[in-house]
Amino acid sequence: MKLVLLGPPGAGKGTLAEKLARKYEIPAISTGDLFRKTAASGSDLGKELKAIMQRGELVPDTLTISVVRDRLSNEDAGRGYLLDGFPRTIQQAEALSGFAALNHVLNLVISDDAIIERLSGRRICPQCGEIYHIKYMPPKVDNRCDNDGADLTIRDDDKIEAIKNRLKVYKKQTEPLIEYYRNTGLLKDLDASLKPEGVLARAIETLGH
């Protein structure tokens, strides 16, 4: 299965991606995670990516496309994959169509108010990447990861100014992809306002196996 999760920042793409990847035994590939890893390396490119992400802007298409093309050539992507956060522009979608034949595009639908509530309450484990929410998916022990006990952190781009810019960028550059993929017949809308188990159940129902 070759699947794209489309949706605004904070819609729950990463949360759903991890569950679907486990169910279908395919890798979940998040361009945001790949860029955050490079940013954490402290290299010159990493510093550049960190600044772009902190502003809530998009990484240039050429770089993003080559990172994804490289990642998809890994052996683990041979049986299929789930793309979380890519493509995000028409240019990325057109490039992807040159090296991947997608089966499904799930479009996570959610209101701006819910997005802001989700992103401002998000906490991340810096060690294993587990995603929490202080209200909706709290850890068992306050601010500690259930998996490894690490102190949870707030993503640099989850500050309110960056969130607002990410939403603006999403509407201008990524939202046109909804129409683009609707025209291909691949796109299905998914109500992302449900509880995580509800979103997962609907996604599996939509994917059909």
Structure tokens at 7: 């949706």
Residue 54 vs 80, nearer CB to ligand AP5:
54
Catalytic residue among 36, 50, 118, 122: 122
Active site residue 36: no
Catalytic residue among 50, 118, 166, 202: 166
**Per-residue CA distances from 4 to 86, 87, 90, 188 (Å):** 7, 8, 14, 11
Q: How far is the CB of 40 from ligand AP5 (least distance, A)?
A: 13
Q: How far is the CB of 29 from ligand AP5 (least distance, A)?
A: 10
Q: How far is the CB of 23 from ligand AP5 (least distance, A)?
A: 16
Q: Contact positions toward ligand AP5, by CB under 6 A?
A: 7, 9-15, 30-32, 35, 52-53, 56-59, 64, 85-88, 92, 118-119, 121-122, 131-133, 136-137, 157, 166, 194-196, 199
Q: How far is the CB of 37 from ligand AP5 (least distance, A)?
A: 11
Residue 37 vs 195, nearer CB to ligand AP5:
195
Active site residue 79: no
Residue 10 vs 104, nearer CB to ligand AP5:
10
Catalytic residue among 36, 50, 155, 202: 155
Residue type for 43, please?
A: S
Residue 27 vs 32, nearer CB to ligand AP5:
32
Catalytic residue among 88, 118, 123, 202: 88
195: number of Cβ within 10 Å: 10
Active site residue 55: no
The 3-state secondary structure of the chain reads CEEEEECCCCCCHHHHHHHHHHHHCCCEEEHHHHHHHHHHCCCHHHHHHHHHHHHCCCCCHHHHHHHHHHHHCCHHHCCCEEEECCCCCHHHHHHHHHHCCCCEEEEEECCHHHHHHHHHCEEECCCCCCEEECCCECCCCCCECCCCCCECECCHHHCHHHHHHHHHHHHHHHCHHHHHHHHHCCEEEEECCCCHHHHHHHHHHHHCC
Active site residue 166: yes
Residue 85 vs 104, nearer CB to ligand AP5:
85
Q: How far is the CB of 152 from ligand AP5 (least distance, A)?
A: 10
Active site residues: 13, 88, 122, 155, 166
